[in-house]
Chains A and B, each alone.
Chain A
Amino acid sequence: MELSGIQIILIFIVSAIAGMGSVLDELQTHRPLIACTVTGLILGDMTTGIIIGGTLEMIALGWMNIGAAMAPDAALASVISTILVIAGHQDIAAGIAIAMPLAAAGQVLTILCRTLTVVFQHWADGFAEKGELRGIDLCHLGALGIQALRVSIPSTLVAMYIGTGAVQAMLDAIPQVVTGGLQVAGGFIVVVGYAMVINMMGAKYLMPFFFLGFVVAAFTTFNLVALGVIGLVLAIVYIQLNPKYAAVAAAPAASSGSSDADDDLDDELD
């Protein structure tokens, strides 16, 4: 499917916003749920975009920038894989599989850009020296612009050449055993994201709650909302009953601390 001029311009804008989102990490425009949906909307098939977004979101669940460690790039992966699936007529499993090398490439690109923007930091020092606040603003926003181009240039190129036979032929050449295998892998690839989240928490002593969640989910048909509520209740009860907190609460109020905790639990049960 050849994209119209307007579609290509819109892809440029949306991928620029996703690129900015991936460094800012505020609005979450770089997350697959958002980026894939909007890209799908531009390409005229939002439903497929939403489904790719949901699938990719589960894989990317634990991708996060902690301290100075960079995560794989969800923005580039989301936009390009959605273009390949909708405009390149691929099935979602193949699109997801192509998204992974893109996420890796995006990770390298973001590290490159974040090294490049050291220059802007030094320019800002110069402006501070002269007391020019406007200059500092421009340095900051200029660096943000680089991050926008990081995603929008590759995405726009793909959008421009997707209509030509070359991309199509390349995608069609993938053997069946690979696409089938990727579909199978799609069933369990999500564990990487879960593992990232668990590792980040770094709370080994709270792992019983992980196992409890696992077993409850295994033997019930509760949906995510119900499971979330159970998790929340467990968290509240744990905090209320934990002697670590009760001891501090008891200090000013003499002996009433522990009975307070009991009362709270009684309330919870009633």
Chain B
Amino acid sequence: MEKKLTSSDFFWAFIRSNFLQGSWNMERMQALGYAFGMVPILRRLYEGEELKKAMKRHLEFYNTQPFVTAPIIGITAALEEKRANGADIPDGVINGIKVGMMGPLAGVGDPIFWGTLRPITAALGASFALSGSILGPIIFFVLFNAIRLWVRYYGIKYGYTKGTDIVQDVAGNKLQKLTEGASILGLFVMGALVNKWTSVNIPVVVSTITNAKGETVVTTVQTILDQLMPGLVPLLMTFACMALMKRKVNAIWIIFGLFAIGIICYGLGIMNVK
């Protein structure tokens, strides 16, 4: 009798795939998590020795952006199904496809999800949260998870129906367009955030003049900088941070460094809160 995966198998694989990174470890990273997700599928297709071999097959090194694992699960499910029905698919091929896909898909998933979707939904949520509104956390939670679950759910179906054809999609235009578009949106919003959601005030007085009307006009370093371009100091700080991180300086040390700068400048009266 031909073995066929049921929709409940896919449903449970989907549920389990939400725990992909639970056992993330320094040796094989998401390997155990991937096997955990494949359990409902392999249990349907194999038994005895074949099941043992299948489980071992999916305990090999694996690591990618977690959400884009969905189509890979779909493809491997399709391949395992064919294999269980007698097709000659060696172990190396299934693993080769997993390993071959995880790099390019991470290249798509990282900028889209970590570089654009999360920072933008989080910044939107934070903008409400700063005034104490419960809408902030809710907007972030609902928006981010709705998109994430959609990708996880349909990703598996997409991978299963398209099978290895998906490799062409990865190499082709569609995903490249999506990645590039997401990067543009992400960078545009980052630029806006650097300007809007930072505050630096340098109250050092440059000149105090009494004008024709008899009013005293105080010019500080900050007034001059703001006339030049508002947000110039945070912009320069952002570039400094980028340069430091490119030199592999841990972000936490940079944060401590900026704290130190804040304390010293405040102590010397060079900076204060606006």
Contact = CB atoms under 8 A, between A and B. Distances in A.
**Are the chains A and B members of one assembly?**
yes
Which of A23, A103, A136: most chain B Cβ within 10 A? A136
B126 A71 contact: no
Interface string A169-207: 000000001101111111111111111111111010011
Interface residues of B, number: 112
Interface of A: 20, 23-28, 31, 33-34, 37, 46-48, 50-51, 53-55, 57-59, 61-64, 66-68, 71-72, 97, 100, 103-104, 107, 111, 114-118, 120-121, 124-125, 128-131, 133, 136-137, 139-144, 147, 177-178, 180-201, 203, 206-207, 209-219, 222-225, 227-228, 230-232, 234-236, 238-239, 242, 245, 248-249
A51 B140 contact: no
Nearest to A219: B230
Contacts of B56: 125, 128-129
13 contacts: A27-B145, A51-B129, A54-B129, A104-B252, A140-B19, A181-B263, A190-B193, A190-B197, A192-B255, A197-B119, A213-B188, A217-B193, A217-B231
B22 interface: yes
Contacts of A141: 19, 22
B11 interface: no
B192 A23 contact: no
Contacts of B267: 177, 181
Name the residue among B125, B130, B237 with the largest chain A CB count within 10 angstroms: B125
A201 to B, nearest CB: 5
B138 to A, nearest CB: 9
A187 B191 CA distance: 16
A181 B256 CA distance: 12
Contacts, number: 378
A55 B264 contact: no
Contacts of B123: 57-58, 61, 224
A124 B59 contact: yes
Contact of A57 (B52, B122, B148, B234): B122
B136 A33 contact: yes
B163 interface: no
A190 B233 CA distance: 13
A131 B193 CA distance: 52
B233 A128 contact: no
A174 B218 CA distance: 34
Interface string B118-160: 1110111111111111101100110011001000000000000
Contact of B173 (A53, A68, A198, A245): A245
Interface string B13-55: 0000011111111111101110110010011000011011001
B93 interface: no
B89 interface: no
Interface in B184-200: 184-200
B66 interface: yes
Given A140-B33, A196-B251, 8 more contacts: A28-B140, A100-B255, A114-B24, A121-B23, A140-B19, A192-B258, A196-B245, A231-B188
Nearest to B18: A26
A187 to B, nearest CB: 4
Given A130-B52, A194-B238, A54 B126 contact: yes
Interface string B192-227: 111111111100000000000000000000000000
Contacts of B122: 31, 33, 57, 61
A197 B197 CA distance: 15
Contacts of B144: 28
A210 B126 contact: no
Contact of B29 (A31, A68, A144, A197): A68
B194 A54 contact: no
* In the complex, the 10 A-B pairs of residues with the closest C-beta atoms, listed nearest first: A185-B262, A213-B191, A54-B129, A181-B263, A143-B23, A231-B188, A195-B241, A144-B22, A217-B192, A187-B199
Interface string B160-185: 00000000000001000100111111
B52 A128 contact: yes
B272 A184 contact: yes
A50 B140 CA distance: 12
Contacts of A245: 173, 177
